[in-house]
Structure 1
Amino acid sequence: MIDPAAAIRIARPSRDLAAAERFYADGLGLHVLYRGEAHAPGEHDLIMLGRPGANWHLELVGGPNLISAPTPTAEDLLVIYLAGPIDEALIARLVEAGGRRVEQSEYWDRWGVTVADPDGYRLVLSTRSWSNG
């Protein structure tokens, strides 16, 4: 059984780590938790973004040793449940930071806003709350 407090890392490739950092840090407001550069074959440049003290983070890898280029689909979603209205200023910051507002699906368009990051992965800001109980 997995401990509910176990840490979660969501990892994916990025064509341009600087552009991704602008989107997730400047646009969304995540913090850079760690940054590393490849120093040997098989290593990647990487950036870890999240919130200090949270049990999760987003790891983006890139650089010349990247094995797989980003290949996002419309179903590759990172959903953040905001439990309330979405601030239009947040959406504007995401777009200004390199995002692109997109239609997602009838369900997600009804319950939130979807913005594609610079690599094309989709971030859904949901007005709903999440309850696992």
Structure 2
Amino acid sequence: MPVDGHRHIRIARPSRDLEAAERFWVAGLGLSVVYRAEGGTEPGEHDLLMLGWPEASWHLELVHEAARPVTPRPTEEDLLVVYLDEPVPDELVARLEEHGGKRVPSPNPYWNEWGVTVEDPDGYRLVLCRRGWSNA
């Protein structure tokens, strides 16, 4: 099977609190719940939350295992960048903050000039970039 630009991408990471993460990503950013599964309390069983836009060729997978929780260890360079190709709406940033996000400065001046950086409830960073992007 070839690996090319038509393949779906999954971005997976742990979460301390899937409900808080869902509020941020769904009510804040506007992603949809693509899939949800509840695990159990035994080691290896985990709760799963998949988020994305129905037409996107990627999704964000968040997992929490109650029996052996993995503490998220994001760095200031762990970014999910959304290229808006227009100014970042103040209402969107406010909505993200209302739903558990925290606006933070980036150590990279590029992101401060071209976008807004918001930490999600687990400390991972979302950058809303006013520039456009294409791999073509």
Q: What TM-score, normalized to structure 2?
A: 0.93
Q: How many residue pairs were aligned?
A: 133
User: 1: distance between equivalents of 2:133 and 2:46?
Assistant: 34
Deviates more, 1:63-72 or 1:102-111: 63-72
Consecutive unaligned residues in structure 2, runs of 5 or more: none
Name stretches of at least 5 consecutive residues in structure 1 with no aligned partner. none
Amino acid at match of 1:49: L
CA distance 1:67–1:16, shift in 2 (3 Å): closer
Q: Secondary structure at the match of 1:19?
A: helix
Q: Would you identify which runs of 4 or more consecutive aligned residues in structure 1 move more than 2 Å?
A: 65-68
CA contact (8 A) 1:24 1:49 kept: yes
Corresponding residue for residue 116 of structure 1: 119
Which residue identity is paired with 1:109?
A: N
Q: For the residues of structure 2 that align with 1:56 and 1:103, how far apart are their CA atoms?
A: 26
CA distance in 1, matches of 2:68, 2:88: 35
Q: Which string of whole-angstrom CA distances, capped at 9 and with x for unpartnered residues, describes residues 44-102 of structure 1?
A: 10100001132110000013134521001001000000001011000000000000000
TM-score by length of 1: 0.95
Take 1:52 and 1:4, find their aligned partners in 2: how far apart are those partners? Answer: 17
Specify the alignment match of 1:48 in structure 2. 50
In the other structure, the counterpart of 2:86 is 84
Cα distance in 2 for residues equivalent to 1:35 and 1:44: 11
Q: Offset at 1:20?
A: 0.2
Amino acid at match of 1:3: D
2:30 maps to which residue? 29
Identity %: 61
Partner of 2:3: 2
Structure 2 partner of 1:71: 73
Q: In 2, Cα distance between the equivalents of 1:18 and 1:36?
A: 13
